[in-house]
Structure 1
Protein backbone atom coordinates (compact mmCIF):
# COMPACT_ATOMS: atom_id res chain seq x y z
CA UNK A 1 0.00 0.00 0.00
CA UNK A 2 1.02 3.65 -0.47
CA UNK A 3 -0.01 6.03 2.31
CA UNK A 4 0.33 9.83 2.13
CA UNK A 5 2.78 11.34 4.63
CA UNK A 6 4.74 14.59 4.74
CA UNK A 7 6.77 14.89 1.55
CA UNK A 8 5.27 11.98 -0.36
CA UNK A 9 4.01 8.44 0.22
CA UNK A 10 5.09 5.72 2.62
CA UNK A 11 5.15 2.09 1.47
CA UNK A 12 3.18 -0.09 3.91
CA UNK A 13 3.05 -3.88 3.77
CA UNK A 14 -0.27 -5.38 4.87
CA UNK A 15 -1.20 -8.87 6.02
CA UNK A 16 -5.01 -8.73 6.30
CA UNK A 17 -7.02 -10.45 9.00
CA UNK A 18 -9.25 -13.34 7.99
CA UNK A 19 -12.26 -11.70 9.65
CA UNK A 20 -13.44 -8.10 9.15
CA UNK A 21 -13.17 -5.83 12.15
CA UNK A 22 -10.17 -7.65 13.65
CA UNK A 23 -7.63 -5.61 15.65
CA UNK A 24 -4.75 -3.92 13.85
CA UNK A 25 -1.06 -4.25 14.73
CA UNK A 26 1.37 -1.59 13.46
CA UNK A 27 4.96 -2.89 13.41
CA UNK A 28 8.11 -0.78 12.99
CA UNK A 29 11.41 -2.25 11.79
CA UNK A 30 15.04 -1.50 12.66
CA UNK A 31 17.49 1.10 11.43
CA UNK A 32 18.67 -0.60 8.20
CA UNK A 33 15.78 -3.02 7.77
CA UNK A 34 12.39 -2.95 6.00
CA UNK A 35 8.81 -4.04 6.57
CA UNK A 36 9.48 -7.69 5.68
CA UNK A 37 11.31 -7.94 9.01
CA UNK A 38 7.85 -8.88 10.29
CA UNK A 39 6.98 -11.62 7.75
CA UNK A 40 7.65 -14.52 10.11
CA UNK A 41 5.71 -12.82 12.88
CA UNK A 42 2.87 -12.40 10.37
CA UNK A 43 3.04 -16.13 9.67
CA UNK A 44 2.46 -16.89 13.35
CA UNK A 45 -0.29 -14.25 13.65
CA UNK A 46 -2.07 -16.40 11.06
CA UNK A 47 -4.65 -13.84 10.02
CA UNK A 48 -6.08 -13.33 13.50
CA UNK A 49 -5.22 -9.61 13.29
CA UNK A 50 -4.32 -7.25 10.46
CA UNK A 51 -0.60 -6.51 10.47
CA UNK A 52 0.69 -3.26 8.96
CA UNK A 53 4.47 -3.04 8.53
CA UNK A 54 5.73 0.16 6.88
CA UNK A 55 9.04 0.58 5.13
CA UNK A 56 10.15 3.50 7.26
CA UNK A 57 11.18 6.77 5.64
CA UNK A 58 14.50 6.31 3.82
CA UNK A 59 14.26 2.51 3.51
CA UNK A 60 12.81 -0.12 1.16
CA UNK A 61 9.81 1.10 -0.81
CA UNK A 62 9.98 4.39 1.11
CA UNK A 63 13.63 4.93 0.21
CA UNK A 64 12.96 7.96 -1.98
CA UNK A 65 11.01 9.87 0.67
CA UNK A 66 12.92 13.04 1.52
CA UNK A 67 13.93 14.28 4.93
CA UNK A 68 13.85 15.65 7.45
CA UNK A 69 14.66 12.30 9.03
CA UNK A 70 14.81 11.34 12.67
CA UNK A 71 12.81 9.28 15.16
CA UNK A 72 10.30 12.11 15.55
CA UNK A 73 9.62 12.01 11.80
CA UNK A 74 8.93 8.27 12.02
CA UNK A 75 6.55 8.85 14.94
CA UNK A 76 4.61 11.44 12.96
CA UNK A 77 4.60 9.17 9.89
CA UNK A 78 3.05 6.40 11.99
CA UNK A 79 0.33 8.76 13.19
CA UNK A 80 -0.34 9.67 9.55
CA UNK A 81 -0.61 5.98 8.59
CA UNK A 82 -3.08 5.17 11.38
CA UNK A 83 -5.24 8.18 10.58
CA UNK A 84 -5.12 7.73 6.79
CA UNK A 85 -6.22 4.10 7.10
CA UNK A 86 -8.67 4.79 9.93
CA UNK A 87 -6.96 1.90 11.70
CA UNK A 88 -6.74 3.09 15.30
CA UNK A 89 -6.38 2.44 18.03
CA UNK A 90 -3.66 -0.05 17.11
CA UNK A 91 -1.38 -2.42 18.95
CA UNK A 92 1.98 -0.75 18.36
CA UNK A 93 5.25 -2.67 18.24
CA UNK A 94 8.80 -1.99 17.12
CA UNK A 95 12.09 -3.84 16.83
CA UNK A 96 15.49 -2.25 17.53
CA UNK A 97 15.34 1.38 16.30
CA UNK A 98 11.69 0.73 15.53
CA UNK A 99 11.13 0.22 19.26
CA UNK A 100 12.49 3.70 19.96
CA UNK A 101 10.19 5.07 17.26
CA UNK A 102 7.25 3.13 18.70
CA UNK A 103 7.91 4.48 22.20
CA UNK A 104 8.09 8.05 20.90
CA UNK A 105 4.92 7.51 18.86
CA UNK A 106 3.17 6.36 22.04
CA UNK A 107 4.28 9.51 23.88
CA UNK A 108 3.44 11.93 21.05
CA UNK A 109 0.20 10.27 19.91
CA UNK A 110 -1.20 8.33 22.89
CA UNK A 111 -4.71 8.25 21.43
CA UNK A 112 -3.55 6.11 18.52
CA UNK A 113 -2.57 2.97 20.43
CA UNK A 114 -4.27 0.39 22.60
CA UNK A 115 -1.08 -1.43 23.64
CA UNK A 116 2.69 -1.27 23.14
CA UNK A 117 5.26 -4.07 22.72
CA UNK A 118 8.98 -3.23 22.38
CA UNK A 119 11.33 -5.84 20.92
CA UNK A 120 15.04 -5.55 21.75
CA UNK A 121 15.02 -1.77 21.62
CA UNK A 122 13.47 1.37 23.06
CA UNK A 123 15.60 1.51 26.21
CA UNK A 124 18.98 3.28 26.10
CA UNK A 125 22.07 1.04 26.25
CA UNK A 126 25.81 1.69 26.78
CA UNK A 127 27.71 2.97 23.73
CA UNK A 128 31.44 3.63 23.21
CA UNK A 129 32.61 7.16 24.06
CA UNK A 130 34.62 9.53 21.88
CA UNK A 131 33.41 8.36 18.46
CA UNK A 132 32.00 10.36 15.55
CA UNK A 133 28.44 9.68 14.33
CA UNK A 134 29.38 7.11 11.65
CA UNK A 135 31.88 5.37 13.94
CA UNK A 136 29.37 5.28 16.76
CA UNK A 137 26.59 3.80 14.63
CA UNK A 138 29.03 1.29 13.10
CA UNK A 139 30.13 0.26 16.59
CA UNK A 140 26.51 -0.46 17.52
CA UNK A 141 25.14 -2.09 14.36
CA UNK A 142 28.35 -3.43 12.76
CA UNK A 143 28.21 -4.69 9.14
CA UNK A 144 24.63 -3.46 8.75
CA UNK A 145 26.13 0.06 8.57
CA UNK A 146 29.11 -0.83 6.38
CA UNK A 147 26.97 -2.43 3.69
CA UNK A 148 25.27 0.90 2.97
CA UNK A 149 28.37 2.01 1.05
CA UNK A 150 28.81 -1.32 -0.77
CA UNK A 151 27.56 -2.57 -4.12
CA UNK A 152 26.80 -6.16 -5.09
CA UNK A 153 27.01 -7.75 -8.55
CA UNK A 154 23.81 -9.76 -8.16
CA UNK A 155 21.24 -10.96 -5.64
CA UNK A 156 23.15 -14.14 -4.91
CA UNK A 157 26.14 -12.09 -3.75
CA UNK A 158 23.92 -10.12 -1.38
CA UNK A 159 22.48 -13.36 -0.03
CA UNK A 160 26.00 -14.70 0.55
CA UNK A 161 26.95 -11.47 2.36
CA UNK A 162 24.14 -11.98 4.85
CA UNK A 163 24.61 -15.74 5.15
CA UNK A 164 28.11 -15.05 6.46
CA UNK A 165 26.65 -12.88 9.23
CA UNK A 166 27.02 -14.80 12.52
CA UNK A 167 23.55 -13.78 13.72
CA UNK A 168 21.98 -15.84 10.91
CA UNK A 169 24.06 -19.01 11.29
CA UNK A 170 21.56 -21.84 11.45
CA UNK A 171 18.64 -19.41 11.16
CA UNK A 172 18.40 -18.86 7.39
CA UNK A 173 14.90 -19.25 5.96
CA UNK A 174 12.68 -18.00 3.12
CA UNK A 175 11.47 -15.26 5.48
CA UNK A 176 15.01 -14.00 6.04
CA UNK A 177 15.80 -14.21 2.33
CA UNK A 178 12.70 -12.19 1.39
CA UNK A 179 13.55 -9.58 4.01
CA UNK A 180 17.14 -9.05 2.83
CA UNK A 181 16.23 -9.13 -0.88
CA UNK A 182 13.62 -6.40 -0.38
CA UNK A 183 16.47 -4.11 0.62
CA UNK A 184 18.15 -4.16 -2.80
CA UNK A 185 17.72 -1.42 -5.41
CA UNK A 186 19.53 -0.50 -8.62
CA UNK A 187 20.70 -2.72 -11.43
CA UNK A 188 23.28 -5.49 -11.76
CA UNK A 189 26.24 -5.39 -11.41
CA UNK A 190 25.84 -2.48 -8.97
CA UNK A 191 22.96 -3.42 -6.67
CA UNK A 192 22.92 -1.57 -3.38
CA UNK A 193 20.93 -1.17 -0.19
CA UNK A 194 17.82 0.97 -0.38
CA UNK A 195 18.68 2.52 3.01
CA UNK A 196 19.68 6.16 2.73
CA UNK A 197 22.89 6.77 4.61
CA UNK A 198 21.82 10.27 5.63
CA UNK A 199 18.60 8.86 7.14
CA UNK A 200 20.53 6.19 9.06
CA UNK A 201 22.97 8.79 10.39
CA UNK A 202 20.20 11.01 11.72
CA UNK A 203 18.11 8.15 13.11
CA UNK A 204 21.09 6.41 14.69
CA UNK A 205 22.29 9.53 16.45
CA UNK A 206 18.72 10.39 17.47
CA UNK A 207 18.06 7.15 19.31
CA UNK A 208 21.13 7.44 21.52
CA UNK A 209 19.87 10.30 23.69
CA UNK A 210 17.53 13.18 24.31
CA UNK A 211 13.76 13.01 23.99
CA UNK A 212 13.92 9.74 22.07
CA UNK A 213 15.77 7.90 24.82
CA UNK A 214 13.51 9.51 27.44
CA UNK A 215 10.28 8.34 25.75
CA UNK A 216 10.36 4.91 27.39
CA UNK A 217 10.23 6.61 30.80
CA UNK A 218 7.14 8.65 29.81
CA UNK A 219 4.89 5.98 28.29
CA UNK A 220 1.18 6.76 28.55
CA UNK A 221 0.33 3.16 29.47
CA UNK A 222 2.12 0.04 30.75
CA UNK A 223 4.05 -1.85 28.09
CA UNK A 224 6.35 -4.84 27.67
CA UNK A 225 9.93 -5.19 26.44
CA UNK A 226 11.07 -8.52 25.02
CA UNK A 227 14.87 -8.57 25.00
CA UNK A 228 17.17 -10.98 23.19
CA UNK A 229 19.63 -13.07 25.13
CA UNK A 230 22.42 -12.44 22.59
CA UNK A 231 23.67 -9.46 20.56
CA UNK A 232 23.74 -8.21 16.97
CA UNK A 233 26.68 -10.46 16.04
CA UNK A 234 25.29 -13.33 18.12
CA UNK A 235 27.74 -12.42 20.87
CA UNK A 236 26.95 -13.47 24.45
CA UNK A 237 26.33 -9.87 25.57
CA UNK A 238 23.06 -8.64 24.14
CA UNK A 239 21.89 -5.05 23.99
CA UNK A 240 20.21 -5.64 27.35
CA UNK A 241 20.55 -7.63 30.52
CA UNK A 242 19.13 -7.11 33.99
CA UNK A 243 22.05 -4.93 35.04
CA UNK A 244 21.72 -2.64 32.01
CA UNK A 245 17.96 -2.34 32.40
CA UNK A 246 18.37 -1.38 36.05
CA UNK A 247 21.11 1.12 35.18
CA UNK A 248 18.81 2.66 32.55
CA UNK A 249 16.27 3.41 35.28
CA UNK A 250 13.49 1.27 33.82
CA UNK A 251 10.29 1.52 35.84
CA UNK A 252 9.24 -2.14 36.00
CA UNK A 253 5.70 -1.12 36.90
CA UNK A 254 5.50 0.80 33.60
CA UNK A 255 7.63 -1.50 31.46
CA UNK A 256 7.57 -5.24 32.10
CA UNK A 257 10.77 -6.83 30.78
CA UNK A 258 11.13 -10.40 29.53
CA UNK A 259 14.34 -12.15 28.46
CA UNK A 260 13.92 -14.35 25.39
CA UNK A 261 16.44 -17.20 25.61
CA UNK A 262 17.93 -18.72 22.48
CA UNK A 263 17.58 -15.54 20.43
CA UNK A 264 19.88 -12.79 19.22
CA UNK A 265 19.03 -9.26 18.12
CA UNK A 266 17.81 -10.46 14.71
CA UNK A 267 16.34 -13.88 15.41
CA UNK A 268 14.03 -12.50 18.08
CA UNK A 269 11.86 -11.39 15.14
CA UNK A 270 13.04 -13.37 12.09
CA UNK A 271 13.76 -16.70 13.79
CA UNK A 272 10.91 -19.12 14.31
CA UNK A 273 10.96 -19.26 18.12
CA UNK A 274 11.34 -15.51 18.56
CA UNK A 275 8.69 -14.68 15.97
CA UNK A 276 6.26 -17.12 17.57
CA UNK A 277 6.67 -15.49 20.99
CA UNK A 278 6.35 -11.97 19.56
CA UNK A 279 3.16 -13.02 17.76
CA UNK A 280 1.75 -14.53 20.95
CA UNK A 281 2.40 -11.33 22.89
CA UNK A 282 0.82 -9.22 20.13
CA UNK A 283 -2.29 -11.39 20.07
CA UNK A 284 -2.58 -11.13 23.84
CA UNK A 285 -2.19 -7.35 23.63
CA UNK A 286 -4.89 -7.27 20.95
CA UNK A 287 -7.25 -9.35 23.08
CA UNK A 288 -7.24 -12.21 20.58
CA UNK A 289 -6.87 -15.80 21.75
Structure 2
Protein backbone atom coordinates (compact mmCIF):
# COMPACT_ATOMS: atom_id res chain seq x y z
CA UNK A 1 0.00 0.00 0.00
CA UNK A 2 1.17 3.53 -0.78
CA UNK A 3 2.51 4.86 2.50
CA UNK A 4 1.20 8.35 1.73
CA UNK A 5 -2.43 9.38 1.52
CA UNK A 6 -3.97 12.76 0.95
CA UNK A 7 -3.43 14.48 4.29
CA UNK A 8 -1.91 11.41 6.00
CA UNK A 9 1.18 9.26 6.27
CA UNK A 10 0.34 5.60 6.80
CA UNK A 11 2.31 3.09 8.86
CA UNK A 12 1.73 -0.34 10.35
CA UNK A 13 2.61 -1.43 13.87
CA UNK A 14 2.52 -4.59 16.00
CA UNK A 15 1.48 -4.38 19.64
CA UNK A 16 2.00 -7.11 22.26
CA UNK A 17 -1.32 -8.39 23.65
CA UNK A 18 -2.35 -11.50 25.53
CA UNK A 19 -1.56 -14.38 23.17
CA UNK A 20 0.56 -12.65 20.55
CA UNK A 21 0.89 -9.47 18.49
CA UNK A 22 -1.98 -7.21 17.49
CA UNK A 23 -1.40 -5.65 14.08
CA UNK A 24 -2.72 -2.15 13.36
CA UNK A 25 -2.60 0.68 10.86
CA UNK A 26 -2.02 4.30 11.82
CA UNK A 27 -2.84 7.25 9.58
CA UNK A 28 -0.86 10.22 10.88
CA UNK A 29 -1.64 13.74 9.64
CA UNK A 30 1.08 14.84 7.24
CA UNK A 31 1.25 18.11 9.13
CA UNK A 32 1.14 16.93 12.75
CA UNK A 33 0.38 19.55 15.33
CA UNK A 34 -0.26 19.62 19.03
CA UNK A 35 -3.93 18.95 19.54
CA UNK A 36 -4.46 16.79 16.44
CA UNK A 37 -7.41 14.60 17.46
CA UNK A 38 -7.33 10.82 17.31
CA UNK A 39 -10.06 8.38 16.32
CA UNK A 40 -9.92 4.68 17.13
CA UNK A 41 -11.61 2.84 14.25
CA UNK A 42 -12.79 -0.75 14.80
CA UNK A 43 -13.71 -2.99 11.85
CA UNK A 44 -16.32 -5.71 11.36
CA UNK A 45 -16.40 -9.43 11.96
CA UNK A 46 -14.40 -10.73 8.95
CA UNK A 47 -12.75 -7.46 8.04
CA UNK A 48 -9.42 -5.71 8.76
CA UNK A 49 -7.98 -2.26 9.42
CA UNK A 50 -7.92 -1.63 5.67
CA UNK A 51 -11.67 -1.04 5.76
CA UNK A 52 -10.88 2.50 6.94
CA UNK A 53 -8.82 4.37 4.25
CA UNK A 54 -12.09 5.48 2.62
CA UNK A 55 -12.99 7.37 5.80
CA UNK A 56 -9.45 8.35 6.81
CA UNK A 57 -8.74 10.37 3.67
CA UNK A 58 -11.81 12.48 4.43
CA UNK A 59 -10.45 13.41 7.86
CA UNK A 60 -7.39 15.61 7.27
CA UNK A 61 -5.71 16.61 10.50
CA UNK A 62 -7.14 13.58 12.34
CA UNK A 63 -5.03 10.61 13.41
CA UNK A 64 -6.77 7.30 12.68
CA UNK A 65 -5.69 4.22 14.62
CA UNK A 66 -7.26 0.98 13.40
CA UNK A 67 -6.44 -2.57 14.50
CA UNK A 68 -6.75 -5.90 12.82
CA UNK A 69 -8.84 -7.44 15.59
CA UNK A 70 -7.45 -10.69 16.98
CA UNK A 71 -8.13 -13.53 14.57
CA UNK A 72 -8.31 -11.20 11.56
CA UNK A 73 -5.85 -9.75 9.04
CA UNK A 74 -2.26 -9.89 10.32
CA UNK A 75 -3.52 -10.49 13.88
CA UNK A 76 -4.77 -13.94 12.97
CA UNK A 77 -1.85 -15.64 14.72
CA UNK A 78 -2.87 -14.52 18.21
CA UNK A 79 -3.49 -17.52 20.43
CA UNK A 80 -6.41 -17.87 22.79
CA UNK A 81 -10.10 -17.07 22.63
CA UNK A 82 -11.51 -13.95 21.09
CA UNK A 83 -14.82 -12.48 22.28
CA UNK A 84 -15.91 -8.91 22.94
CA UNK A 85 -14.01 -8.54 26.23
CA UNK A 86 -10.74 -9.81 24.73
CA UNK A 87 -11.08 -7.44 21.77
CA UNK A 88 -11.84 -4.55 24.14
CA UNK A 89 -8.74 -5.19 26.22
CA UNK A 90 -6.66 -5.39 23.03
CA UNK A 91 -7.89 -1.90 22.12
CA UNK A 92 -6.67 -0.57 25.45
CA UNK A 93 -3.23 -2.08 24.78
CA UNK A 94 -3.20 -0.50 21.32
CA UNK A 95 -3.97 2.96 22.73
CA UNK A 96 -1.20 2.50 25.29
CA UNK A 97 1.25 1.63 22.51
CA UNK A 98 0.48 4.77 20.49
CA UNK A 99 0.33 7.02 23.55
CA UNK A 100 -3.36 7.93 23.41
CA UNK A 101 -5.15 8.43 26.71
CA UNK A 102 -8.71 9.10 25.53
CA UNK A 103 -10.39 9.08 22.13
CA UNK A 104 -13.54 8.96 20.05
CA UNK A 105 -14.23 5.34 19.07
CA UNK A 106 -15.89 4.41 15.78
CA UNK A 107 -17.07 0.84 15.32
CA UNK A 108 -18.50 -0.71 12.16
CA UNK A 109 -20.59 -3.89 12.33
CA UNK A 110 -19.06 -6.18 15.01
CA UNK A 111 -16.70 -3.31 15.71
CA UNK A 112 -19.70 -1.48 17.15
CA UNK A 113 -20.27 -4.25 19.70
CA UNK A 114 -16.56 -4.24 20.55
CA UNK A 115 -16.62 -0.45 20.93
CA UNK A 116 -19.45 -0.52 23.45
CA UNK A 117 -17.75 -3.22 25.50
CA UNK A 118 -14.47 -1.26 25.31
CA UNK A 119 -16.22 1.85 26.61
CA UNK A 120 -17.66 -0.19 29.48
CA UNK A 121 -14.43 -1.98 30.44
CA UNK A 122 -12.16 1.04 29.91
CA UNK A 123 -14.41 4.09 30.37
CA UNK A 124 -11.53 6.49 30.98
CA UNK A 125 -10.15 5.77 27.47
CA UNK A 126 -13.32 6.79 25.60
CA UNK A 127 -14.87 10.22 25.04
CA UNK A 128 -17.67 9.35 22.61
CA UNK A 129 -18.84 6.29 20.66
CA UNK A 130 -20.00 6.26 17.03
CA UNK A 131 -21.65 3.00 15.95
CA UNK A 132 -21.94 2.28 12.23
CA UNK A 133 -24.58 -0.35 11.44
CA UNK A 134 -23.72 -2.39 14.50
CA UNK A 135 -23.57 -2.39 18.27
CA UNK A 136 -27.18 -2.74 19.37
CA UNK A 137 -28.53 -6.30 19.66
CA UNK A 138 -29.58 -7.93 16.40
CA UNK A 139 -33.02 -9.39 15.82
CA UNK A 140 -32.22 -13.10 16.05
CA UNK A 141 -34.29 -15.88 17.65
CA UNK A 142 -33.10 -17.27 20.96
CA UNK A 143 -31.81 -20.83 21.26
CA UNK A 144 -30.18 -21.24 17.84
CA UNK A 145 -27.18 -23.53 17.55
CA UNK A 146 -23.89 -21.90 16.56
CA UNK A 147 -23.89 -22.77 12.86
CA UNK A 148 -27.52 -21.69 12.40
CA UNK A 149 -26.86 -18.41 14.20
CA UNK A 150 -23.80 -17.65 12.09
CA UNK A 151 -25.54 -18.60 8.84
CA UNK A 152 -28.60 -16.53 9.73
CA UNK A 153 -26.59 -13.37 10.39
CA UNK A 154 -23.70 -13.68 7.93
CA UNK A 155 -25.01 -15.98 5.18
CA UNK A 156 -22.50 -16.34 2.31
CA UNK A 157 -19.96 -14.26 4.26
CA UNK A 158 -19.49 -17.23 6.57
CA UNK A 159 -19.38 -19.73 3.70
CA UNK A 160 -16.52 -17.78 2.09
CA UNK A 161 -14.28 -18.47 5.08
CA UNK A 162 -14.08 -22.16 4.15
CA UNK A 163 -13.28 -21.50 0.49
CA UNK A 164 -9.84 -21.65 -1.14
CA UNK A 165 -8.53 -19.47 -3.97
CA UNK A 166 -5.70 -19.96 -6.43
CA UNK A 167 -4.53 -16.34 -6.26
CA UNK A 168 -5.58 -12.78 -5.56
CA UNK A 169 -7.13 -12.43 -9.00
CA UNK A 170 -9.52 -15.31 -8.37
CA UNK A 171 -10.48 -13.80 -5.02
CA UNK A 172 -11.17 -10.41 -6.59
CA UNK A 173 -13.28 -12.08 -9.28
CA UNK A 174 -15.28 -13.77 -6.51
CA UNK A 175 -16.00 -10.40 -4.92
CA UNK A 176 -16.80 -8.65 -8.20
CA UNK A 177 -19.91 -10.82 -8.38
CA UNK A 178 -21.00 -9.80 -4.89
CA UNK A 179 -24.22 -7.76 -4.91
CA UNK A 180 -23.05 -5.33 -2.22
CA UNK A 181 -20.52 -3.36 -4.25
CA UNK A 182 -21.72 -2.91 -7.83
CA UNK A 183 -20.61 0.57 -8.91
CA UNK A 184 -18.74 1.07 -5.61
CA UNK A 185 -15.72 -1.00 -6.80
CA UNK A 186 -12.46 0.90 -6.27
CA UNK A 187 -8.69 0.56 -5.91
CA UNK A 188 -9.06 0.90 -2.12
CA UNK A 189 -11.52 -1.97 -2.14
CA UNK A 190 -9.12 -4.16 -4.14
CA UNK A 191 -6.31 -3.44 -1.67
CA UNK A 192 -8.63 -4.27 1.21
CA UNK A 193 -9.67 -7.58 -0.37
CA UNK A 194 -6.13 -8.60 -1.39
CA UNK A 195 -4.92 -7.98 2.17
CA UNK A 196 -7.46 -10.51 3.44
CA UNK A 197 -5.79 -13.47 1.72
CA UNK A 198 -3.23 -15.66 3.51
CA UNK A 199 -1.37 -18.79 2.42
CA UNK A 200 -3.24 -21.94 3.46
CA UNK A 201 0.00 -23.95 3.51
CA UNK A 202 -1.20 -26.26 0.75
CA UNK A 203 -0.58 -24.15 -2.35
CA UNK A 204 -3.70 -22.01 -2.21
CA UNK A 205 -5.01 -18.99 -0.35
CA UNK A 206 -7.81 -18.50 2.17
CA UNK A 207 -9.41 -15.56 3.98
CA UNK A 208 -7.39 -14.59 7.05
CA UNK A 209 -10.34 -14.97 9.41
CA UNK A 210 -11.21 -18.52 10.43
CA UNK A 211 -14.76 -19.77 10.62
CA UNK A 212 -14.25 -20.81 14.24
CA UNK A 213 -13.15 -17.32 15.28
CA UNK A 214 -16.13 -15.82 13.49
CA UNK A 215 -18.50 -18.31 15.11
CA UNK A 216 -17.13 -17.71 18.59
CA UNK A 217 -17.45 -13.94 18.24
CA UNK A 218 -20.93 -14.20 16.72
CA UNK A 219 -22.12 -16.28 19.65
CA UNK A 220 -20.50 -13.95 22.18
CA UNK A 221 -21.93 -10.74 20.76
CA UNK A 222 -25.43 -12.24 20.54
CA UNK A 223 -25.66 -14.42 23.66
CA UNK A 224 -22.69 -13.47 25.86
CA UNK A 225 -22.79 -11.22 28.92
CA UNK A 226 -20.30 -8.52 27.89
CA UNK A 227 -22.63 -6.60 25.57
CA UNK A 228 -25.73 -6.60 27.85
CA UNK A 229 -23.56 -5.40 30.72
CA UNK A 230 -22.14 -2.60 28.56
CA UNK A 231 -25.57 -1.54 27.30
CA UNK A 232 -27.03 -1.53 30.81
CA UNK A 233 -24.33 0.87 31.97
CA UNK A 234 -23.89 3.28 29.04
CA UNK A 235 -21.92 6.22 30.40
CA UNK A 236 -20.71 7.89 27.19
CA UNK A 237 -22.53 9.68 24.39
CA UNK A 238 -23.42 6.99 21.84
CA UNK A 239 -24.56 7.67 18.29
CA UNK A 240 -25.76 4.99 15.87
CA UNK A 241 -25.96 5.19 12.08
CA UNK A 242 -27.94 2.46 10.31
CA UNK A 243 -28.55 1.77 6.63
CA UNK A 244 -31.53 0.16 4.88
CA UNK A 245 -29.62 -2.64 3.11
CA UNK A 246 -27.66 -5.58 4.47
CA UNK A 247 -24.63 -7.71 3.58
CA UNK A 248 -26.19 -8.82 0.29
CA UNK A 249 -27.52 -5.33 -0.50
CA UNK A 250 -30.94 -6.57 0.61
CA UNK A 251 -33.60 -4.62 2.50
CA UNK A 252 -34.26 -3.97 5.34
CA UNK A 253 -30.64 -4.43 6.44
CA UNK A 254 -29.34 -5.56 9.83
CA UNK A 255 -31.76 -3.31 11.68
CA UNK A 256 -35.32 -3.36 10.37
CA UNK A 257 -37.30 -0.23 11.33
CA UNK A 258 -39.53 -2.05 13.84
CA UNK A 259 -36.54 -3.69 15.52
CA UNK A 260 -34.50 -0.52 15.80
CA UNK A 261 -37.49 1.23 17.35
CA UNK A 262 -37.59 -1.46 20.03
CA UNK A 263 -33.87 -1.16 20.66
CA UNK A 264 -34.00 2.62 20.92
CA UNK A 265 -36.86 2.35 23.39
CA UNK A 266 -34.74 -0.03 25.45
CA UNK A 267 -31.65 2.23 25.22
CA UNK A 268 -33.02 5.78 24.98
CA UNK A 269 -29.64 7.46 25.45
CA UNK A 270 -28.49 6.20 22.02
CA UNK A 271 -28.87 8.84 19.31
CA UNK A 272 -29.93 7.22 16.04
CA UNK A 273 -30.07 8.25 12.40
CA UNK A 274 -31.09 6.18 9.40
CA UNK A 275 -29.05 6.97 6.28
CA UNK A 276 -30.46 5.98 2.91
CA UNK A 277 -28.74 7.07 -0.32
CA UNK A 278 -28.70 3.43 -1.50
CA UNK A 279 -26.03 2.40 1.00
CA UNK A 280 -25.63 -1.10 2.43
CA UNK A 281 -23.77 -2.68 5.33
CA UNK A 282 -20.46 -2.66 3.43
CA UNK A 283 -20.69 0.55 1.45
CA UNK A 284 -21.53 2.71 4.46
CA UNK A 285 -17.79 2.46 5.19
CA UNK A 286 -16.12 1.14 2.03
CA UNK A 287 -17.38 3.50 -0.65
CA UNK A 288 -17.02 7.19 -1.40
CA UNK A 289 -20.66 7.95 -0.64
CA UNK A 290 -20.68 6.00 2.62
CA UNK A 291 -17.32 7.31 3.79
CA UNK A 292 -18.58 10.87 3.33
CA UNK A 293 -21.43 10.12 5.73
CA UNK A 294 -19.21 8.46 8.33
CA UNK A 295 -16.46 11.08 8.10
CA UNK A 296 -18.99 13.88 8.59
CA UNK A 297 -20.35 12.09 11.66
CA UNK A 298 -16.82 11.65 13.03
CA UNK A 299 -16.15 15.36 12.61
CA UNK A 300 -19.34 16.13 14.50
CA UNK A 301 -18.34 13.79 17.32
CA UNK A 302 -14.89 15.39 17.51
CA UNK A 303 -16.47 18.84 17.59
CA UNK A 304 -18.72 17.72 20.44
CA UNK A 305 -15.64 16.64 22.40
CA UNK A 306 -14.00 20.03 21.79
CA UNK A 307 -17.16 21.82 22.89
CA UNK A 308 -16.98 20.13 26.30
CA UNK A 309 -13.32 20.91 26.90
TM-score normalized by the length of structure 2: 0.88
Q: What residue is the counterpart of 1:237 in the other structure?
A: 252
Whole-Å separation in 1 of the counterparts to 2:141 and 2:192: 29
Say whether the 8 Å CA contact 2:231–2:267 is kept in structure 1. no
Q: What residue is the counterpart of 1:103 in the other structure?
A: 116
Whole-Å separation in 2 of the counterparts to 1:113 and 1:49: 16
SS at match of 2:58: helix
Q: What residue is the counterpart of 2:77 in the other structure?
A: 64
Deviating more after overlay: 141-150 vs 15-24: 15-24
What per-residue deviation string (whole Å, max 9, x for no partner) do you get for residues 28-54 of structure 1? Answer: 1111111101110011113x2100110
Q: What residue is the counterpart of 1:147 in the other structure?
A: 160
- Unaligned 5+ residue runs, structure 2? 1-12
Task: Give runs of aligned pairs for residues 1-289 of structure 1, distance below 5 A.
Answer: 1-17=13-29, 18-21=31-34, 22-46=36-60, 48-128=61-141, 131-186=144-199, 189-214=203-228, 215-250=230-265, 253-261=268-276, 262-287=278-303
SS at match of 2:115: helix
Superposed structure 1 runs of 4+ greater than 6 Å apart: none
Shift of 1:242: 3.2
Say whether the 8 Å CA contact 1:260–1:274 is kept in structure 2. no
Say whether the 8 Å CA contact 1:152–1:189 is kept in structure 2. no
Say whether the 8 Å CA contact 1:232–1:265 is kept in structure 2. yes
Aligned length: 288
Whole-Å separation in 2 of the counterparts to 1:100 and 1:189: 36
Shift of 1:232: 1.1
Deviating more after overlay: 271-280 vs 187-196: 187-196
Say whether the 8 Å CA contact 1:128–1:139 is kept in structure 2. no
Cα separation, partners in 2 of 1:236 and 1:226, compared to 1, 3 Å: same
SS at match of 1:44: coil
What per-residue deviation string (whole Å, max 9, x for no partner) do you get for residues 73-119 of structure 1? Answer: 00010011112222121110111001000010011111001111000
- Unaligned 5+ residue runs, structure 1? none
SS at match of 1:246: helix
Of the two structures, which has the highest relative contact order with CA contacts closer than 8 Å and spacing of 6 or more? 1
Whole-Å separation in 2 of the counterparts to 1:234 and 1:126: 18
Shift of 1:233: 0.6
Whole-Å separation in 2 of the counterparts to 1:168 and 1:229: 15
Query: Over the residues paired in the alignment, what is the CA RMSD in angstroms?
Result: 1.8
